[in-house]
Amino acid sequence: MSKEKLLQLEKNTVVLFWLLLLVLALTGLAGLVYQGHSDWALWSDLFHALAGLVFFSSLTLYLVLHFKRTFGVRRPLVFTLGVFAALLLVLAIYSGATMVVLGRQEQDQHWYLLHLVSTALLLLFLLLHLLAYYLAARQQGDVRLFKSQDSKVGRQTAVGSAALALLFVFCVAASGWYDPAYSDKPVVADYLYDYGSHPFRPSQSETYHNKFIDERQIVQSAQCANCHQDITRQWLDSAHKKAASDPTYIKNISLLAERKGITATRYCEGCHAPVALLTGQLSPGGQHGGIVGTPGNREGVNCLSCHGLQSIEHVKGNGSYRYGQAQPYLFDGTTNPALQLLNQISIRLDPSQHKQDMGKAFTRSADLCATCHAQFMDKEMNKWGWVKMQDDYASWLAGPFSSQNPRFNQQTAVPCQGCHMPLVAGKDPSADAQGQIRSHRFLGANSLLALLNDSPEQFEQMVRFLQSNKMRLTIDKPNRQTASQNYKPLEGKVDARQLVTAPYFYYLNEQAELNIAVSNIGVGHHFPGGTIDINEAWLEIVVTDASGQPIFSSGLLQPDQTVDAKAYFYRSMPVDRFGKDVWKHDLFNMVGDRYRNAVAPGASDLVRYQFQVPAWAVSPLHVAATLKYRKLNKKYTDWALGDSKVSLPVIDMARDSLQIPLKTQADTRVALQP
């Protein structure tokens, strides 16, 4: 094919080439200069990405024609600059395409930097290439690409630019005209205000406009999953996801609705089912989160229950947060699949505002957790008076991990997220430079949900979490200060200044005393925490002699799966105004505790046991102590799950053992005086 023919073909493609290059340059420059959040900026990013994809497809044809036409022409400087420009062009397109496909990910910011640098160098080398060509062609009297007849290329480029500009203006206007028409009215038409004029009381929850939230503004977990797949998979197994679908919660919220009406369920739903509360379902005619199949039941504590908050109202709990409104991206709230795709792409191309809205500083603080993991009951609920309930936040403040208690030499604070949301490897746009994300399994002590929902990985990680040296048992050696010791000097290089430890042993047939220290060295709050009125934590002690014969035991599991009633428990036992046990977790009847026992963070509890050492025991005695934990006691389990055959797992959190020698005490006879 002649060079004239190649030149003509090249001219036919150069219009699209220059047009797309102009679009890329202008939209790229706009995105670099303007760092704000607006519809036109988002459309500029979309036009930039689309132009880049079309440019990539047309580039191959243009470069083939261009190199074929110019190959063999002795203009080494022009050729070299052109080759470098082509290589930089490929690099710019590749880095841009990577960001379009993967999105602007936190750990892949080098692609953005590479795109900027390669684009800047491309423009420089392209200008140098054209300048070198012009000078060389002028010297040789060949400036065909710059002759007047080529003005047609310029006119076509101008017309195409004008058309694209008009299309851009139309798109910006269309998104500006779009109105999601979010409702600020309750789902239930005749919404009752049984607890005053505030729409959400007795929950402490608020909203940014002090009105109700449209369901589309909070039920967005499926949309979040489009990008945050690893995090979503973790959340699906978590207790947060099942906060409203937990069968024990369903039992209790149904009991509350039956006894005090659906409006009273607002007290619980602010934490367990924010969707039901904030959309205005909790009034006669509506459905609380305990009803299977409802949005509140399906979502539980979803993504926006934490990341959609505007602020923390206070740290007293009962859902003490203010739900906010994120800055909208293109066509937010649409149900049209095509427009939803544009919405997702616009977030992926420029997630800066999304990150700012969803990653507020308080999402990494213990204050966020306090909004729901602290609890109190007012007179309006129990018809008695103010009662303090669980408060893991207050015990965290008083412990070593808050770094606010001068009793502990803890310089760096470890918030709740440091333990319950550890860093794990994950492929996610929010992953750090090491490819790590905060686990959204929210590991804690709810082993029940992991089993009921057939989540073996969640259960395995939870057991590992509970057994990760957070609690420690120490059996004190029964040292005998009155025992005889030999202080004869030892020869050799033995340091006589070493501390002499008193020996320990028991005598046969004596009343033995055994002390066990239970230390909270790694739990950031009291152990146990949370719903300690229905959870079970206790000490199991087994003492046997050398032949395996049982000597003493406490805390053994009985055949009916109940725990030895005389065991040493860590729990609370709430009572109502008549002094009767509130054992169904119907806390609206609670006015106080008749028993409460927990180990504060950084503290120890000393437990004493006494037993008789039989005369027939074979030395040494073997003492085994285990701190055991079970989510839910047997009585509550049978009632809440409606099945007495359910056997919940018992997890050993800490152990210690000790061999104690036995001795025969010599007879002591008193001589009688004549």
- For the segment 113-131, the average pLDDT, to the nearest whole number, is 86
Q: Compare 208 and 672 and report the one with higher pLDDT.
A: 208
Q: For residue range 560-578, list pLDDT tens digits in order.
A: 999 999 999 999 999 999 9
Would you state the structure tokens that stand for residue 148, as one six-digit string? 């007047």
Q: Could you write out the DSSP letters of every residue in 288-319?
A: -TTSTTSHHHHHSS-HHHHHTEEEE--SS-SS
- Determine the Cα–Cα distance for residues 621 and 544; give it in Å rounded to an integer: 6
Q: Which pLDDT does position 591 carry in this prediction?
A: 94
- Determine the Cα–Cα distance for residues 126 and 22; give it in Å rounded to an integer: 13
Q: Is 611 helix (H, G, I), strand (E, B) or coil?
A: strand
- Determine the Cα–Cα distance for residues 594 and 581; give it in Å rounded to an integer: 8
Q: For residue range 533-565, list pLDDT tens digits in order.
A: 999 999 999 999 999 999 999 999 999 999 999
Q: Which pLDDT does position 51 carry in this prediction?
A: 83
Q: For residue range 71-104, list pLDDT tens digits in order.
A: 656 677 877 888 888 888 888 888 888 887 777 7
For residue 653, give the H/E element and its range: strand 651-660
Q: For residue range 399-456, list pLDDT tens digits in order.
A: 999 999 888 887 789 999 999 999 999 888 888 888 899 999 999 999 888 888 888 9
Q: For residue range 143-201, list pLDDT tens digits in order.
A: 555 454 456 666 777 787 888 889 999 999 999 899 899 999 999 999 999 999 999 99
Q: Which pLDDT does position 148 carry in this prediction?
A: 43
Q: For residue range 460-497, list pLDDT tens digits in order.
A: 999 999 999 999 999 999 988 765 555 555 555 555 55
Would you state the structure tokens that stand for residue 205, as one six-digit string? 């929850």
Q: For residue range 241-283, list pLDDT tens digits in order.
A: 999 999 999 999 999 999 999 999 999 999 999 999 999 999 9
The dihedral formed by the CA atoms of 245, 248, 251 and 255, expressed in degrees to the nearest 10: -120
Q: Compare 364 and 55 and report the one with higher pLDDT.
A: 364
- Determine the Cα–Cα distance for residues 524 and 601; give it in Å rounded to an integer: 6
Q: How many Cα atoms occupy the beta-carbon half-sphere of 236 within 13 Å? A: 14
- For the segment 35-56, the average pLDDT, to the nearest whole number, is 87
Task: Report which residue type is found at 43.
Answer: W
For residue 379, give the H/E element and its range: helix 379-382
Q: For residue range 622-667, list pLDDT tens digits in order.
A: 999 999 999 999 999 999 998 877 788 999 999 999 999 999 986 5
Residue entry with tokens 């004549």: 674
Task: Report which residue type is found at 334.
Answer: T
pTM of the model: 0.86
- Determine the Cα–Cα distance for residues 595 and 587; give it in Å rounded to an integer: 15
Q: Which pLDDT does position 491 carry in this prediction?
A: 58
| Record: fold of 461-482+499-663 | Immunoglobulin-like (2.60.40)
Q: Which pLDDT does position 149 carry in this prediction?
A: 45
Question: Average per-residue pLDDT in the chain?
Answer: 88
